[in-house]
């Protein structure tokens, strides 16, 4: 397939996913261009995490197609899938650290297993990446269970960026961090995009973080992308759903299904 | 009508479960022969599965050998055939009780531990994280446990056999008035290679069953702590039942009458 400068890094076309009779993704169309940092916003349970899991092949979409660098990856598995995944870094919403391994080995895991870097060298890289997320070398020897939730998140971040991937997915990178550390992480995401030219797709509820790290914002609602535009336009989207979401209002077109 | 539907449902569920287990097993076995193989992990799992099971397997084998000698003595004395105690003890231990008792004990210990560990990794998305780090979870998690169990179980059973015979010896000489030298000579003269190897083959199969059940139920666990608990129970129960069923099949294949 011809690769031009305009080939998006990741493209979703009409991706649908349902669990049982519950439709979670109802035809998602979304592109992530090279060097872009896209933030996807949307209410809790709208399927943001499911969407990125479909791209990574952790979940299989029921229909629709997914492309990475112009290559269709929807039905890849085995070696071919592993090769595609080498381009990705992923921060899981719940960190998903390996609790049987010390912190440094968590961070170095992709380097050692996926890229065949010798352990000693991988360890030095891990300690360097940990420093980037504000964790000292003393943390490297601890087990993940000995860390606070926010520290685990930062280790997850260090793991996501450790192998210098081209595309990074951050599932709620600043949730559970104090405001100052959240800003440090925002800065880190911005600088990784700038320095390394990576493309990022982040999911967040934190509008301050979204504004800071993104060049584009897309909003997911009821299984579809209902708005997609430059971050600068988010305040003048003219979309009542977006307005309600970014201002955090209980009144508006989005109805929370709670009983009073 | 409702009864038919219920039966149909049960049959469908059964075949779906068997099918997915077969696919999982085939996947795991084929991963055993394709690189990469994680040698360090295999050694670590052998420690966990084999070495740390020694005390519990050794103790159960000792008491089993002892009680076997006692019962055979009581039973055979009705025919005045007491002298056959050493022969029957060693036959029973090497052919059946050694592998089965060790298999059941290890199923309780190890299948549960494997299911709990892998199940927790499943519900906390650690298995998904492995995938995103370009590591095949079957190769990284399942293969080392399978190989370690298949290698450790025969070693464990060989030790259990010796301890079981020792248990019989202790009971026979201490409370049944057997002469120690004669007891041992009768044991050694009677036991054949086939008795021992049949038990070791069974042990390897049981090791496979134990690790497979632990991994399969762990991999398929759903929904938090409760799901992991269910997976653990199912792993132990299914491993135990399969061990007993496989034992019958193996006995009838190895010793056709
Ligand atoms: N493996 C699964 N099996 C069944 N249902 C699932 C599964 N994963 C997700 N869901 C359902 O899909 C819906 C979307 O989940 P998802 O985790 O993507 O939400 P989200 O947008 O990331 O929410 P949050 O912002 O709270 O993280 C939820 O209703 C959830 O119940
Ligand atoms: Mg989520």
CA proximity to A38, closest of A219, A196, A183: A219
CB contact under 8 A, B129 and A88: no
**Residue A202 resides in a domain:** yes
In this complex, is the C-beta atom of A227 within 8 Å of any C-beta atom belonging to chain B? no
* Structural domain harbouring A112: 94-164
**Is the pLDDT assigned to residue B215 strictly greater than 60?**
yes
Place A2 in a pLDDT band, splitting at 50, 70 and 90.
Answer: very low
The whole-number average pLDDT for the span A21-37 is: 90
Pairwise CA distance, residues B62 & B93, whole Å: 10
Q: What are the distances in angstroms from CA B187 to CA B166, B167, B174, B196?
A: 11, 13, 17, 12
Residue B135: its chain A contacts at CB < 8 A? 109, 113-114
> Which of B124, B136, B140 faces A96 most closely, judged by CB atoms?
B124
What average pLDDT does the structure give for chain A?
Answer: 87
Question: Do A144 and A206 belong together in one domain?
Answer: no
Q: A120-131: per-residue pLDDT in tens? A: 999 999 999 998
**One domain for residues A9 and A75:** yes
User: How far apart (Å, rounded) are the C-alpha atoms in residues B75 and B81?
Assistant: 9
Whether B121 has a pLDDT exceeding 80, the answer reads yes
Q: What whole-number distance in Å separates Cα of residue A39 and Cα of residue A240?
A: 19
Contact B124 A94 (CB under 8 A): yes
- B204 with B102: CB under 8 angstroms? no
Strand order in the sheet with A88-91: A88-91, A167-171, A199-203, A37-41, A216-221, A224-230
Kindly report which listed range (A151-155, A247-251, B46-50, B198-202) carries the lowest average pLDDT score. A247-251
Name the closest ligand to CA A40. 1
Kindly indicate the confidence band of residue A3, based on its pLDDT and cuts at 50, 70 and 90. very low
User: What CATH number does residue A248 fall under?
Assistant: 3.40.50.300
Nearest-neighbour CA in chain A from B131: distance (Å)? 8
Which ligand has the shortest distance to the CA of A170? 2
| Structural element, H or E, at residue A216 | strand A216-221
One domain, residues A5 and A77: yes
C-alpha span between B185 and B196 (Å, rounded)? 17
| pLDDT attached to residue A163 | 87
| Distance (Å) from the alpha carbon of A235 to chain B's nearest alpha carbon | 35
Last residue of a domain, one of A117, A139, A164: A164
Residue A201 has pLDDT above 80, yes or no: yes
Same domain, A99 and A79: no
Chain B contact for A245, CB < 8 A? Answer: no
The verdict on A132 and A148 lying in the same domain is yes
Q: Which residue of chain A has the CA closest to B138?
A: A78
Residue A184's pLDDT band (boundaries 50, 70, 90)?
A: confident
DSSP state of A255: P
Q: Does residue A260 belong to any structural domain of this protein?
A: no
Query: What pLDDT, on a 0 to 100 scale, did the predictor assign at position A257?
Result: 65
A201 touches chain B (CB under 8 A): no
What is the torsional sign of CA B113, B116, B122, B124?
negative
pLDDT digits (tens, 9 = 90+) for A92-119: 988 899 999 999 999 999 999 878 889 8
- Would you call B129 and A82 a contact, using CB atoms and an 8 Å cutoff? no
The C-alpha angle B241, B242, B245, rounded to 5 degrees, equals 90
Mutate to test the interface with B, among A89, A90, A168, A170 (most CBs of B within 10 A): A90
Res B124 pLDDT > 60: yes
pLDDT of residue B44: 92
Q: Ligand 1, atom 25: nearest CA belongs to which residue? A: A44
From A20, A21, A24, A171, mutation site for ligand 1 pocket: most ligand atoms within 8 A of C-beta: A24
The pLDDT assigned to B144 comes to: 94
CB A197 within 8 A of CB A168: no
User: Residue A53 and residue B128: Cβ atoms within 8 Å?
Assistant: yes
Q: Is the residue at A208 inside a domain?
A: yes
Q: Where are the alpha helices (DSSP H) in A145-231?
A: 149-162, 179-196, 207-213
Res A35 pLDDT > 90: no
B252 contact partners, CB below 8 Å, separation of at least 6: none
Check: CB of residue A59 under 8 Å from CB of residue A53.
yes
Q: Cα separations (Å) of B168 from B27, B69, B90? A: 43, 5, 8
- In the block, residue with structure tokens 């446990």: B145
Query: Positive or negative CA dihedral for A37, A43, A44, A49?
Result: negative
How far apart, in whole angstroms, are the C-alpha atoms of residue B184 and residue B119?
A: 47
A231 within 8 A of A211, measured Cβ to Cβ? yes
- Is pLDDT of A1 > 50? no
Nearest CA in chain B to A90: B132
The answer to whether residue A200 is domain-embedded is yes
Ligand 1: which of A46, A93, A202, A205 to mutate, most ligand atoms within 8 Å of CB? A46
The number of C-beta contacts closer than 8 angstroms across A and B is 52
Quick check: is A29 in a domain? yes
Token digits for A186? 């925002």
- Last-in-domain residue among A164, A187, A215: A164
Contact with chain B for residue A80, Cβ under 8 A: no
Ligand nearest to the CA of A28: 1
Strands of chain B (E only): list them. none
Domain shared by A68 and A107, yes or no: no
Q: Does A175 share its domain with A56?
A: yes
Q: Which of B121, B124, B132 sits opposite A85 (nearest CB)?
A: B132
- Report whether A17 contacts A47 (CB < 8 A): yes
User: Ligand 1 centroid to A179 CA: how many Å?
Assistant: 26
Start-to-end CA distance of chain A, whole Å, equals 55
Q: Kindly report, residue by residue over B26-66, the tens digit of the pLDDT.
A: 888 888 888 878 888 999 999 999 899 999 999 999 999 99
Model pLDDT for residues A242-257, shown as the tens digit of each residue: 888 888 888 778 877 6
Residues A9 and A74 both lie in one domain: yes
A170 touching B, CB under 8 A?
Answer: no
Does residue B118 surpass a pLDDT of 90?
yes
Question: In terms of domains, do A234 and A106 share one?
Answer: no
Q: Which residue from B minimizes the CA distance to A81?
A: B134
Identify the pLDDT of residue A258: 61
What mean pLDDT is predicted for residues A22-49?
A: 90
In a domain, A251, yes or no: yes
Q: Does residue A44's CB lie within 6 angstroms of at least one atom of ligand 1?
A: yes
Atom of ligand 1 nearest to the CA of A51: 18
To test the contact with chain A by mutation, choose from B116, B126, B134, B224 the residue with the greatest count of A C-beta atoms within 10 A, namely B134
Interface pTM, i.e. ipTM: 0.87
How many residues are present in chain B? 257
Together in a domain, A80 and A183: yes
pLDDT digits (tens, 9 = 90+) for B3-34: 888 888 888 888 888 888 888 888 888 888 88
Query: Cα(A45) to centroid of ligand 1, in Å?
Result: 5
**What pLDDT is attached to residue B141?**
93
Label residue A8 exposed, middle or buried (CB < 10 Å: 0-12, 13-18, 19+): middle
Last residue of a domain, one of A111, A137, A164: A164
Would the pLDDT of A53 be above 80?
Answer: yes
- Nearest alpha carbon to residue A169 among A51, A14, A18: A51
Q: Which residues pair with A66 in a beta bridge?
A: A12
Ligand 2 centroid, distance to A159 Cα (angstroms): 19
Do A28 and A105 belong to one domain? Answer: no
A259 pLDDT band (50/70/90 cuts)? low
Contacts of A238 (CB under 8 A, 6+ apart): none
So what's the pLDDT on residue B1?
Answer: 67
Q: How far apart are CA B244 and CA B2, in angstroms?
A: 33
**Residue A119 located in a structural domain:** yes
From the list B73, B57, B55, the residue with the least C-alpha distance to B168 is B73
Which residues are CB-contacts of B142 (< 8 A; sequence separation ≥ 6)?
B28, B31, B211, B215, B219
Flag whether pLDDT at A4 surpasses 80.
no
| Residue A132 confidence class, pLDDT cut points 50, 70, 90 | confident
pLDDT at A9: 87
Which residues on adjacent β-strands are paired with residue A65?
A: A13
Look at residues B98, B186, B176, B38 and name the one whose alpha carbon lies nearest to residue A100: B38
Do residues A170 and A75 share a domain?
yes
Residue B101: band (very low, low, confident or very high) from pLDDT cuts 50, 70, 90:
very high
Number of independent structural domains in chain A? 2
Q: Is residue A178 assigned to a domain?
A: yes
């Amino acid at each position: 397939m011809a690769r031009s400068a305009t080939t998006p890094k990741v493209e979703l076309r009409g991706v649908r996913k349902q669990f049982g009779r519950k439709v979670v993704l109802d035809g998602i169309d979304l592109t992530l261009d090279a060097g872009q940092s896209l933030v996807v916003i949307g209410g809790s349970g709208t399927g943001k995490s499911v969407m990125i899991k479909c791209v990574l092949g952790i979940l299989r979409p029921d229909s629709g197609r997914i492309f990475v660098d112009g290559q269709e990856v929807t039905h890849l598995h085995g070696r071919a899938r592993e090769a595609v995944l080498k381009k990705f870094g992923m921060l899981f919403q719940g960190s998903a650290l390996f609790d049987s391994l010390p912190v440094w080995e968590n961070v170095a895991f992709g380097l050692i297993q996926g890229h065949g870097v010798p352990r000693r060298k991988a360890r030095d890289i891990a300690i360097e990446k940990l420093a980037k997320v504000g964790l000292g070398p003393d943390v490297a020897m601890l087990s993940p269970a000995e860390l606070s939730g926010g520290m685990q998140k930062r280790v997850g971040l260090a793991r996501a960026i450790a192998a210098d991937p081209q595309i990074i997915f951050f599932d709620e990178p600043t949730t559970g961090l104090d405001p100052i550390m959240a800003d440090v992480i925002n800065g880190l995401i911005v600088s990784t995009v700038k320095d390394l030219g990576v493309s990022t797709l982040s999911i967040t509820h934190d509008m301050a973080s979204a504004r800071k790290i993104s060049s584009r914002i897309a909003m997911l609602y009821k299984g579809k992308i209902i708005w997609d535009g430059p971050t600068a336009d988010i305040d003048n989207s003219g979309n009542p759903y977006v307005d309600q979401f970014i201002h955090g209002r209980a009144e508006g077109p989005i109805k929370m299904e709670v009983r009073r | 009508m409702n009864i038919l539907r219920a039966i149909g449902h049960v049959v469908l569920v059964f075949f779906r479960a068997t099918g997915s287990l077969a696919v999982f097993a085939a996947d795991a076995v084929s991963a055993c022969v394709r690189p990469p193989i994680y040698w360090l992990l295999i050694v670590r799992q052998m420690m966990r599965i084999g070495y740390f099971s020694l005390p519990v397997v050794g103790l159960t084998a000792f008491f089993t050998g002892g009680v076997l000698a006692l019962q055979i003595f009581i039973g055979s004395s009705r025919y005045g055939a007491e002298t056959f105690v050493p022969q029957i003890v060693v036959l029973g231990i090497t052919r059946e009780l050694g592998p089965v008792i060790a298999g059941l004990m290890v199923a309780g210990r190890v299948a549960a531990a494997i299911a709990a560990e892998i199940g927790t990794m499943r519900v906390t998305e650690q298995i998904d994280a492995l995938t995103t780090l370009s590591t095949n979870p079957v190769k990284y998690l399942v293969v080392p446990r399978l190989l370690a169990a298949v290698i450790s179980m025969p070693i464990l059973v060989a030790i259990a056999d010796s301890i079981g015979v020792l248990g019989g010896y202790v009971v026979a000489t201490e409370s049944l008035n057997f002469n120690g030298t004669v007891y041992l000579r009768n044991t050694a003269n009677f036991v054949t290679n086939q008795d021992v190897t049949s038990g070791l083959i069974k042990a390897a199969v049981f090791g496979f069953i134990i690790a497979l059940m632990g991994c399969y139920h762990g991999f398929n666990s759903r929904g938090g702590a409760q799901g992991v608990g269910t997976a653990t129970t199912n792993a132990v129960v299914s491993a135990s039942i399969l061990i007993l069923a496989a034992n019958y099949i193996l006995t009838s294949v190895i010793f056709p009458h």
